[in-house]
Structure 1
Amino acid sequence: MLSVRLLGPVRASVDAREIALGPPLQRAVFTVLAVRRDQVVDRGELIDAVWGEALPGNPEGAVHTYVAGLRRALEPVRARRSPGRFLESHPSGYRLRLPDPEATDLARFERLADEGRAASGAGRLPLAERLLDEALALFDGSVLGGVPGPFAQARREWLAAARQSLAEDRAEVLLARRRFGAAAAEARRLADAEPLRERPWALLMTALYRDGRQAEALAAYDRARAVSAEQLGLDPGPLLGELRQRIVVADPSLLPGGPREAEPGERWVDLPRDSDHFTGRTAEAARVVAAAGRGVCAIDGMAGVGKTTLAVHVAQRLAGRCPDVRLYIDLHGHTPGRRPVTAAAALERLLLAVGVPGERIPAGAEDRAALWRSRLAGRRALLVLDNAVDTGQVRPLLPGSASCLVVITSRRRLTGLDAGESVSLDVLPFTDALALFAAVAGPDRVAAEPAATEAVLRACGLLPLAVQISAARLRHRPAWTVAHLRDRLAVEERRLDELAAEDRSVEAAFALSYRSLATGARRMFRLLGLFPGAELGLAAAAALCGVDVVAADRLLEGLVDCQLLDEPRPGRYRLHDLLRAYAARECCRTESADERAAALARLADFYLATVDGAEQLLRPQRLDRADPSAPRTGAEFGDRAAALAWLDAERGVFAPLVETAARIGRHRQAWQLARCLWGFFEARGHWTDWICCHELALPSARLLGDRLAEARLLVGLGVAEHRLRNYPAAVSHYRNALALMREAGFRSGEAGVLTNLGNTLRRMGRTAEAIECQEQSLAGCQAIPDQAGEAIALANLGDLYRDAGRLRKSLAAQEQALAMFRKWGERRWEGSVLDGLARTHLAAGATEPALVHCREALECRRACGDRAGEAETLDTLGRIHLRRGDLAPARSALTRALAVAQALDTPLADDIRRRLARISGGPPSDAENNTPDP
């Protein structure tokens, strides 16, 4: 069977298989034959239709070639010279056989249009609206898209006029059904599309007047008059002039008569049709169905997340349970240019919809609510209250009968509802977003560019409205590739501008929610757009906004209730990516450059103070503080575990914040923030984060001319590169830092750099040089004196002496270092030295004391959250068991060590894998060395 689509890009399919219609002129020949279905089209007529006056050299031959191409496409396996199944040759021309009277969407359109108009004339308005909707829904983009020639152009113009006229008929039906708001919206769209046609303006003026919006109706006339004067130099015709006068004098005949009373067996039904592209939401739909089945269910979520789409979809599923009444009303809680519908006005519309004559509707809202409840008593009714502004708006509309089901949508969480349940919508899962994009844009284009499609969906934040808009833009631009769309969306500053199509816009949807906020909440929201990370805590938000924590908590919770902010965990907040872009744009529009810089400066000060306090718990023996005299403006922690938990939660913001502080000229905060993260990055093994932060901070130290700050950052880079086993890079950083330390006369720092340099030289197999460095460091620390540096140098000398086979000196140095660290309560260093002692005893063949020290080391490292150290000590434990011949506990320890090392993504994981692979084991490798803090 052959089916043809003409009311969009021209397509054809045979037995549900789409066929390639060939080049544009061949498609033009096919289009003429399809429009003139089952009629013989003369060759001369075909030539005129395709080329007009711009004839080729041999038009008859060209037609013959294109017809042959179409035959091959329609019937690729047809025997040569056999009669065609679809395309027939006649002496004078050709005929496309389409036995099915509705094989083309054009034929279906014509039938539905005729039937819809007939139903409207007979007063069967719900049927008329449905038929007209079906007819208009057949249009899919540019009519006869991709088809050249005078015939196609003339047919396009005729179909555009037919579509406009039918849409005007539909608006008339909406007016007759008392759906004034919907009629006005449709008429406004039609008037914008064809501003010189008077009928849409008349429909718009009438709908607005009947909706109680007399001033807007007169403003519509003024606009129509301005357009007519500008383009024609004339006033509108008498139709609009007379209508305006009737509106001015409030002519009662303009108002509709009361609605018909329900005839026996008639039902009151007015639900929108389900979306053609409804995708996913299986779990959410089931929850709404279950909740609504018990009475009332409220669906909330951010703008564009698909609340109305889900509500209508669920309503269609529930329709069978409610045969008596099925009504939908838009409460305009967030509609451009509209105030929210009052409860009294909504009740009037609902009462009219169920057949109550206007003269019998009480004036007061309470009386109307009582009549509404009595009207629905005992009826099996379904009510969709869409786009509610708050609980107060919907509470009077709720039926009192248990036989009634209600589905409410709102951008707010309707926590004030006395009964019912709530379902909060999140963005779509990736697979559902992909399915929605493919359904709108076309599966072939998506399948051809999967990587680009994923990037587009990520740029849309998986928000259904954004996905639909981007897919619709792609569908209606055949020349675009998905990669081209991806590139347009890749520019973050322009992304919101790209996510707009006709009257739909992601930015406009967000703007309605934003403008409904109070002044303080607006300011908090837009300042959140400056935050450089993905997620922030309450105290950080308070610092950014310059308010106390109590006020910040109130503002943030209000934004959560309005679905402008997520709260993934208590006290942790996150903006959707597109909302972040919108907030940043509003911030740039509203806040001055100085105000924006001040907010970011407050944020940098907060984080520096907080990280500095956390570092004091992680490394109490460090040699420097960010600014000991500065007031404590950051969060404070009771113990090391609390500090680490906060640092873990904030990890993603540190590098962006260092970069931001440098960008706004807060160079001291930039380099000190990186410096104060030493203990956290080392405890958790975040070596790449360490390098990133230090590299971002290094230019700030140099711009300040602070040679000591530069040296300290170079030491940090050396430590991280050492941990990643990039030893030559580490040596280079250490030597540069050493020169700066000596230039500054910072002897304690010089000793620390020598210690770290010795550690790296040891890993490079240069043991003698390493021992020399460590002994110089020890001597320097003793001369200053610097007991912390002295203890670190002793611990590292213990490892080096073990490497050199000087085991007694190794044990002596490590025992001395252990006593010092225990005296100060430095458990992280204690764990490191105990691990070194275990390895020295193992090297001496004394596995029992090695085992004792190793278990003590493991306890220390776990107690202080030193995950990297824990992996090293578990590795040591495994090697001790191997030396003792205990394969099962060796395998267990090494397996645990590997799990930790893999989680931290450290190079040690490769060593452990090799050890597990040859479980019999070779000689053990040495542990990582200690890295002092100069």
Structure 2
Amino acid sequence: MDADGRCRGGGERWGARVDDVTGGAGAGAGGAGAGGAGTRPGADGDGGGLRDGLTVHLLGPVRALLDGRDVALGPPLQRAVFTVLAVRRDQVVDRGELIDAVWGEALPGNPEGAVHTYVAGLRRALEPVRVRRSPGRFVQSHPSGYRLVLPDAAATDLARFERLADEGRAAVRAGRPDAAERLFGEALALFHGSVLGGVPGPFAQVRRDWLAGARQSLAEDRAEVLLRQGRYREAADEARLLADGEPLRERPWALLMTALYRDGRQAEALAAYERARAASAELLGLDPGPLLGGLRQRIVVADPALLPDGGAEAAAAGAGRPGRWVDLPRDAGHFTGRAAEVARVAAAVGRGVCAIDGMAGVGKTTLAVHVAQRLAERCPDARLYVDLHGHTPGRPPVTAAAALERLLLAVGVPGERIPAAEEDRAALWRARLAGQRALLVLDNAVDTGQVRPLLPGSVSCLVLVTSRRRLTGLDASVSLSLGVLPLEEAQALFAAVAGPERVAAEPAAAEAVVRACGLLPLAVQIAAARLRHRPAWTVAHLRDRLAVEERRLDELAAEDRSVEAAFALSYRALDAAERRMFRLLGVFPGAVVGLDAAAALCGLDVVAADRLLQGLVDCQLLDEPHPGRYRLHDLLRAYAARECGRTDGDADRRAALGRLVGFYLATVDGAEQLLRPQRLDRADAAPPGAGVAFADRAAALAWLDAERAVFAPLIGAAARDGRDRQAWQLARCLWGFFEARGHWTDWIACHELALPSARLLGDRLAQARLLVGLGVAEHHLRHYESAVGRYRAALALMREAGFRNGEAGVLTNLGNTLRRMGRTAEAIDCQEQSLATCQAVADQAGESIALANLGDLYRDAGRLRQSLDVQEQALAMFRKWGERRWEGSVLDGLARTHLAAGGAEQALVHGREALECRCAGGDRAGEAETLDLLARIRLERGEPGTAREDWRRALAVAEELDMPLAGDIRRRLRELPPGG
């Protein structure tokens, strides 16, 4: 029996018609202006002649003109603030949004102060005669931020561009191509030079990219208008320029091929396809999609429907047939695994709606598109895809009304027949698809409210909805929360993208890479793509780059895709309280956090913490594997920690860690009091309610079992943060748990982490107690020489500190280990010294332990009568105190002594009593030892069958606890006679 130091027991995609291969200006194929034509307010004309008031130019170098004169907008960052306010004209922009938009990650020391300074500078430039503290004419303050007030909705060229684009598309739908061409031309003419020129910051970059796409899409619309007017050469010239500028966009190639074919240049049309194919192969390693492939085949066979008259006839013949409309993205060429998920989604055919949710980057869209392509033949009437932009950089979510307009156009409803009201559009949409076998992919939904108006009324239509949120309000027949890939499928995906030969050459490194990616498909794809495009890299080199946790997110980025950016979109959709909770979870050192610990971390009551945690679960930023227990994906934890470092000061982070360590120390100390009530030392007193209180020993052990994985990381975090006293006390208070459960390696890990803290404090007793704990754990692992070294070092510290009780405890433990080493005489001497010391200081608990241990040693020395006498004394003392676990240990010793004396019957009685006590006390390691003893007693009594049963029970427990005893039991089972 061991003692402690005190002598203790130790872009939008919309419906593109198959028979109208160029897409259709009316469909808006990714163009600017998502709203319906004529809905944007504004003055007549393009507004270019306005000279009174403030006008703003954004579609080139950023300029502001006040009454026709240029305004000096100041330094670049001040221009960036102005640009955000101008793009969001007449809207209040939150200060936090301004900070994110202008600086992104590269925050200045005082970003709020910098915003205030730049706003003041803009006010001086725009309103030089403004009286201090008076309401601004142009730049107005609000409690949460600022707003730029413009005299007219057309006071920015961006607003004029959007209005002209909308009017042009309305003209297309109304059959007025000449007007559409003029309006598109006026809109495109507004661009001059570098868009948002001279403006730094992430907001400006995102808007540049969006405006480049909007400009390209509108130019494609104009080329299509030329094509519809029969001006094939002009259409071909414009389409060729667009295709050369954006070789991966298929629509300009389709326009070029169609224009050339209609102009009688079939060979040139086919040559254009080959150019498109070469560009796609070079840049993507893929062939063009079905839009261009199908168009090429139709050109080869001279399909009459491609000619203007044939196209009209085909359109007339297809009126009212939604099946002539197909717009599904290309299936991923490297789609891997997900067999069970594919089967579940496919099972939704004929049942209505399938909702697929999951964290950013988990492959929701890929799965939905893959299944949609597989189900194409079962949904012959229409197959449509809509990106609702719930989480798209620089894009607001698509309104239900706008999405309905696109869908109605896609199934052939003329623009003039589309109602203005959302509910009327929804009713027409349901009527249009009634009885049809159609498939609709609603991708990237923000919430149920955005999706519900788009649902067909017939279950013959299959709707696949993807979202980062759990759409709990959606009446879905099939709901699927998509998790990360299994290891084998993640490895297969990595090999498919990176190249199977390179991966096969370094399989161990490849496995390490996908594990570093957290098995997240987006991360695996990005890592594989980087490897594919860097022939000098080995898989091991990539593994080593990803091994540095602080830079892992930086490594998982390629061109316009990054894991961090995907996470950021989900994070920014949270409210302020949820953001804070998410960030502080990055401080938590373990993988799974309990509700009470999360509440302590954030300084909240449990009810408030539960509400925030459930919100994070709904947003797929947190998983709840068991009720009240939450897990962050490894990469999300890294992102949360990074955001905490950016947003929260070091004082806030340390305060959160302090609350967490205090919670765990108070709770573990309370649990230890139930497990080892006779211990002398306790942790520092905690405020009332600082930890979880337990009703009994079983409840304490259950909580400790659930939290086991966090103890070592938490002690390490406390030590690194300079919380040395809490670090060593936390390790010390886990003695009873580790001993009861036999978690010897955990015990060693925690004590090794805490020992430097005790040394930094110069606390001899703290060091000695931790050394004793290390000795106990190493003793149980049969590392006897190491245990002896720990005990002797602890004994010296105890004597220096003058702590007699601790000295006695170390002597007890040292004696136990010397006994296991066969050094019986030295062991007896240690135990007798311990007994005398405990009697001198009136330590009855230590005395009882020394007596019990002397009983074992006297038995080893053949002094059986003395062994029985001292053990009976110890048993009486333990029963007096109600110490069932120690009672079980002494009963086990008595059974061994009786067995040695030839009294198998009495040994069996004591052995059964010992097993009962050890099971009742939760002493799993002791349970295995006593079952091993009972088996040997049964064998002595001539009961080999019962012995075999006891050994098998003992082996199950020993293997569960990874005890060295397991090897001994296996040998005994092998030596048991056959049939015994």
Task: Provide the TM-score with structure 1 as the length reference.
Answer: 0.74
Pair 1:323 & 2:380 matched: yes
Q: Return the offset for 1:525.
A: 0.5
> In the alignment, which residue of structure 2 is the partner of 1:735?
792
2:194 counterpart SS class: helix
Q: Return the offset for 1:208.
A: 9.9
* Paired residues for 1:241-252 under 5 Å: none
Letter of the structure 1 residue corresponding to residue 741 of structure 2: R
> In the alignment, which residue of structure 2 is the partner of 1:263?
316
1:291 counterpart SS class: coil
Q: Quick one: structure 1 residues 651 and 629, their matched pair in 2 at CA, closer, same or farther if it must change by over 3 Å?
A: closer
Q: Quick one: structure 1 residues 781 and 474, their matched pair in 2 at CA, closer, same or farther if it must change by over 3 Å?
A: same
Q: Is the 8 A contact 1:854 1:876 kept in 2?
A: yes
Q: Is the 8 A contact 1:614 1:643 kept in 2?
A: yes
* Paired residues for 1:745-894 under 5 Å: 745-894=802-951
Q: Quick one: structure 1 residues 209 and 834, their matched pair in 2 at CA, closer, same or farther if it must change by over 3 Å?
A: farther
Q: Quick one: structure 1 residues 400 and 639, their matched pair in 2 at CA, closer, same or farther if it must change by over 3 Å?
A: same
Q: Is the 8 A contact 2:871 2:890 kept in 1?
A: yes
1:382 counterpart SS class: strand
Aligned with residue 466 of structure 1, among 516, 523, 532: 523
Q: Is the 8 A contact 1:698 1:713 kept in 2?
A: yes
> In the alignment, which residue of structure 2 is the partner of 1:397?
454
Letter of the structure 1 residue corresponding to residue 383 of structure 2: R
1:865 counterpart SS class: coil
Q: Quick one: structure 1 residues 527 and 181, their matched pair in 2 at CA, closer, same or farther if it must change by over 3 Å?
A: farther
* Paired residues for 1:876-915 under 5 Å: 876-915=933-972
Q: Is the 8 A contact 2:892 2:930 kept in 1?
A: yes
Q: Quick one: structure 1 residues 370 and 489, their matched pair in 2 at CA, closer, same or farther if it must change by over 3 Å?
A: same
CA deviation string 1:435-492 (max 9, x = no partner)? 1111111111111110110011001111111111111111112221111111111111
Letter of the structure 1 residue corresponding to residue 694 of structure 2: F
Q: Return the offset for 1:226.
A: 7.4
Q: Is the 8 A contact 1:181 1:211 kept in 2?
A: no
Q: Return the offset for 1:176.
A: 6.7
Q: Quick one: structure 1 residues 607 and 222, their matched pair in 2 at CA, closer, same or farther if it must change by over 3 Å?
A: farther
Aligned with residue 494 of structure 2, among 437, 461, 464: 437
Q: Quick one: structure 1 residues 551 and 228, their matched pair in 2 at CA, closer, same or farther if it must change by over 3 Å?
A: closer
1-structure distance, mates of 2:684, 2:532: 58
2-structure distance, mates of 1:733, 1:916: 35
> In the alignment, which residue of structure 1 is the partner of 2:288?
none
Pair 1:178 & 2:28 matched: yes
2-structure distance, mates of 1:402, 1:741: 78
Q: Quick one: structure 1 residues 795 and 255, their matched pair in 2 at CA, closer, same or farther if it must change by over 3 Å?
A: farther
Letter of the structure 2 residue corresponding to residue 283 of structure 1: A
Q: Return the offset for 1:524.
A: 0.6
CA deviation string 1:819-851 (max 9, x = no partner)? 111121111101111110110000001000100
Higher relative contact order (CA 8 A, sep 6+): 2
Aligned with residue 514 of structure 2, among 457, 464, 489: 457
2-structure distance, mates of 1:219, 1:866: 82
Q: Which moved more, 1:724-733 or 1:630-639?
A: 630-639
> In the alignment, which residue of structure 1 is the partner of 2:697?
640
Q: Return the offset for 1:773.
A: 1.3
> In the alignment, which residue of structure 1 is the partner of 2:662?
605
> In the alignment, which residue of structure 2 is the partner of 1:272?
329
1-structure distance, mates of 2:796, 2:24: 83
Q: How many residues align?
A: 727
2:473 counterpart SS class: coil
* Paired residues for 1:494-505 under 5 Å: 494-505=551-562
Q: Quick one: structure 1 residues 740 and 322, their matched pair in 2 at CA, closer, same or farther if it must change by over 3 Å?
A: same
2-structure distance, mates of 1:664, 1:656: 12
Q: Quick one: structure 1 residues 181 and 837, their matched pair in 2 at CA, closer, same or farther if it must change by over 3 Å?
A: farther
List gaps (5 residues or longer) in structure 1: 1-122, 130-171, 185-194, 196-201, 231-239, 922-934
Letter of the structure 1 residue corresponding to residue 745 of structure 2: T
1:573 counterpart SS class: strand
> In the alignment, which residue of structure 2 is the partner of 1:710?
767
Q: Is the 8 A contact 1:204 1:217 kept in 2?
A: no
Q: Return the offset for 1:627.
A: 2.2
Q: Return the offset for 1:211.
A: 6.5
Q: Quick one: structure 1 residues 256 and 510, their matched pair in 2 at CA, closer, same or farther if it must change by over 3 Å?
A: farther
Q: Is the 8 A contact 2:510 2:539 kept in 1?
A: yes
Q: Return the offset for 1:896.
A: 1.9
Aligned with residue 681 of structure 2, among 613, 618, 624: 624
> In the alignment, which residue of structure 1 is the partner of 2:777?
720
1-structure distance, mates of 2:317, 2:686: 86
2-structure distance, mates of 1:408, 1:125: 22
Pair 1:221 & 2:191 matched: yes
Pair 1:355 & 2:412 matched: yes
Letter of the structure 2 residue corresponding to residue 221 of structure 1: F
1:627 counterpart SS class: coil
2-structure distance, mates of 1:306, 1:396: 25
> In the alignment, which residue of structure 1 is the partner of 2:596?
539
2:466 counterpart SS class: strand
> In the alignment, which residue of structure 2 is the partner of 1:82?
none
2-structure distance, mates of 1:858, 1:220: 88
> In the alignment, which residue of structure 2 is the partner of 1:84?
none
1-structure distance, mates of 2:907, 2:226: 97
Q: Quick one: structure 1 residues 211 and 286, their matched pair in 2 at CA, closer, same or farther if it must change by over 3 Å?
A: farther
Q: Quick one: structure 1 residues 526 and 870, their matched pair in 2 at CA, closer, same or farther if it must change by over 3 Å?
A: same
Q: Return the offset for 1:897.
A: 1.4
What fraction of aligned residue pairs are identical, expressed as a percent?
77
1-structure distance, mates of 2:960, 2:917: 20
Pair 1:596 & 2:653 matched: yes
Q: Quick one: structure 1 residues 538 and 227, their matched pair in 2 at CA, closer, same or farther if it must change by over 3 Å?
A: closer
Q: Which moved more, 1:806-815 or 1:204-213?
A: 204-213
1-structure distance, mates of 2:529, 2:744: 44
Q: Is the 8 A contact 1:175 1:207 kept in 2?
A: no
CA deviation string 1:41-87 (max 9, x = no partner)? xxxxxxxxxxxxxxxxxxxxxxxxxxxxxxxxxxxxxxxxxxxxxxx
> In the alignment, which residue of structure 1 is the partner of 2:754?
697
Q: Is the 8 A contact 2:353 2:475 kept in 1?
A: no
Letter of the structure 2 residue corresponding to residue 363 of structure 1: A
Letter of the structure 2 residue corresponding to residue 274 of structure 1: D
CA deviation string 1:628-676 (max 9, x = no partner)? 4653411111111111111111111111111110111111110000000
Q: Is the 8 A contact 1:542 1:549 kept in 2?
A: yes
Q: Quick one: structure 1 residues 640 and 585, their matched pair in 2 at CA, closer, same or farther if it must change by over 3 Å?
A: same
Q: Is the 8 A contact 1:514 1:522 kept in 2?
A: yes
Task: Provide the TM-score with structure 2 as the length reference.
Answer: 0.70
2-structure distance, mates of 1:359, 1:677: 75
Q: Quick one: structure 1 residues 287 and 519, their matched pair in 2 at CA, closer, same or farther if it must change by over 3 Å?
A: same
Pair 1:917 & 2:767 matched: no
Pair 1:486 & 2:543 matched: yes
CA deviation string 1:686-736 (max 9, x = no partner)? 111111111111111111111111111111111111111111211111111
Q: Is the 8 A contact 1:205 1:221 kept in 2?
A: no
Q: Quick one: structure 1 residues 263 and 124, their matched pair in 2 at CA, closer, same or farther if it must change by over 3 Å?
A: farther
Q: Quick one: structure 1 residues 204 and 846, their matched pair in 2 at CA, closer, same or farther if it must change by over 3 Å?
A: farther
Q: Return the offset for 1:882.
A: 1.7
Letter of the structure 2 residue corresponding to residue 699 of structure 1: P
CA deviation string 1:777-818 (max 9, x = no partner)? 112212221111111111101101111111111111111111
Q: Is the 8 A contact 1:174 1:180 kept in 2?
A: no
> In the alignment, which residue of structure 1 is the partner of 2:432?
375
Letter of the structure 2 residue corresponding to residue 904 of structure 1: L
1-structure distance, mates of 2:565, 2:196: 27
> In the alignment, which residue of structure 1 is the partner of 2:42?
none
Q: Which moved more, 1:513-522 or 1:626-635?
A: 626-635
Q: Return the offset for 1:885.
A: 2.1
Q: Is the 8 A contact 1:125 1:177 kept in 2?
A: no
> In the alignment, which residue of structure 2 is the partner of 1:422?
479
CA deviation string 1:588-611 (max 9, x = no partner)? 111111111111111111111111
Letter of the structure 2 residue corresponding to residue 510 of structure 1: F
* Superposition CA RMSD, Å: 3.3
1:224 counterpart SS class: coil
2-structure distance, mates of 1:653, 1:707: 27
Q: Quick one: structure 1 residues 218 and 525, their matched pair in 2 at CA, closer, same or farther if it must change by over 3 Å?
A: farther
Letter of the structure 2 residue corresponding to residue 458 of structure 1: R
Aligned with residue 314 of structure 1, among 344, 368, 371: 371
